[in-house]
């Protein structure tokens, strides 16, 4: 009876694991694909006790052994046209999977950007502005500070892209500076969801107390929407059984910054 490579190797590792207690073997199949290109590559490897024994690569169409036993298996498999043909079948599964998953990889969500004052200047202590970008996807993003039409290089610190746990990300960039009358400070945001870099201007004319009230008000509104949605979901589930209710979260509004298209 002819077994496929997956079934044959899985059965072998299962038998070996039963004889040697406390050891662990597994098979790993990976599909390597690019969203922007059509190239798809399959790698199929056999691992036991933290060591990789052999690996099949669809681009090279051959098996490579990494241990003494792995080299023996690889030699047998490379001389078996039926086994190598199974690799082409697995590659077709990768190609089909890529067609299914690529549309999700092309989805982009624009960030909600807020510029806010974290600290006012006092004596020799510099003021701190923060440019925060929330709820964006995908992960890569770039935040740059512009002061009087010149990029600011010094006194700038940024967090990494922080995962929210719901596929979205946030990032915060801090600028330390001594305020000057009549100056213009902006935060430039570059992201896949934009056709060009977006510029958000800092407006110091709004008093700090008013900015705080506006931000807190936006947060309060968001929490109110979440609470109401949660109550509705609970009510519906209690009376009609389980169902999925799409919830639209209202983004935090940029109360103290203006967006330049």
Q: Which domains does the chain have, with CATH numbers?
A: 5-105 (3.10.320.10), 112-260 (2.60.40.10)
Q: Is 158 helix (H, G, I), strand (E, B) or coil?
A: strand
Is the C-alpha dihedral spanning 147, 128, 170, 112 positive or negative? negative
Half-sphere exposure of 181 (CA within 13 A, CB side): 0
Q: How far is C-alpha 162 from the geometric centre of its chain's CA atoms? A: 9
Supply the pLDDT for residue 36.
Answer: 58
Supply the pLDDT for residue 27.
Answer: 86
Supply the pLDDT for residue 1.
Answer: 34
> Parallel, antiparallel, or unpaired for β 162-163 and 169-177?
antiparallel
Q: What does pTM read for this prediction?
A: 0.49
Calpha distance 127→164 (Å, rounded): 28
Q: Is 173 helix (H, G, I), strand (E, B) or coil?
A: strand
pLDDT in tens, the chain (261 residues): 333 333 333 334 443 444 455 677 888 888 887 665 678 888 989 888 888 999 999 999 999 999 998 999 899 999 998 988 988 998 888 888 877 777 766 789 999 999 999 999 999 999 999 999 999 999 999 999 999 999 999 999 999 999 998 889 999 999 999 999 899 999 999 999 999 999 999 998 765 555 555 555 555 555 554 555 555 544 444 444 333 333 333 333 333 455 555
Supply the pLDDT for residue 231.
Answer: 54
Residue length of the chain: 261
Supply the pLDDT for residue 103.
Answer: 72
């Amino acid at each position: 009876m002819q077994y496929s490579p997956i079934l044959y190797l899985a059965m072998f590792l299962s038998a070996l694991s039963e004889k040697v207690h406390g050891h662990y073997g597994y098979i790993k199949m990976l599909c390597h694909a690019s969203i922007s290109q059509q190239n798809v590559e399959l790698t199929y490897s056999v691992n036991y006790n933290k060591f990789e024994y052999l690996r099949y690569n669809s681009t090279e169409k051959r098996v490579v052994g990494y241990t003494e036993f792995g080299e023996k298996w690889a030699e047998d498999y490379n001389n078996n046209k039926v086994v190598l043909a199974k690799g082409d079948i697995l590659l077709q599964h990768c190609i089909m999977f890529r067609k299914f998953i690529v549309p999700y990889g092309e989805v982009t969500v624009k960030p909600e950007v807020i510029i806010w004052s974290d600290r006012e200047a006092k004596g020799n202590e510099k003021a701190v502005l923060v440019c925060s970008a929330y709820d964006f996807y995908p992960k890569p993003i770039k935040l740059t500070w512009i002061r009087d039409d010149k990029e600011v290089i010094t006194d700038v610190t940024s967090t990494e892209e922080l995962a929210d746990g719901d596929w979205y990300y946030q990032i915060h960039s801090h600028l330390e500076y001594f305020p000057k009358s009549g100056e213009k400070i902006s935060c430039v945001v570059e992201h896949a969801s934009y056709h060009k870099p977006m510029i958000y201007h800092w407006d110091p004319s709004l008093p700090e107390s008013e900015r705080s009230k506006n931000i807190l008000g936006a947060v309060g509104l968001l929490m109110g929407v979440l609470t109401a949605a949660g109550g509705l979901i609970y009510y519906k589930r209690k009376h009609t059984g389980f169902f999925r209710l799409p919830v639209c979260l209202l983004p935090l509004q940029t109360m103290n910054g203006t967006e330049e298209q």
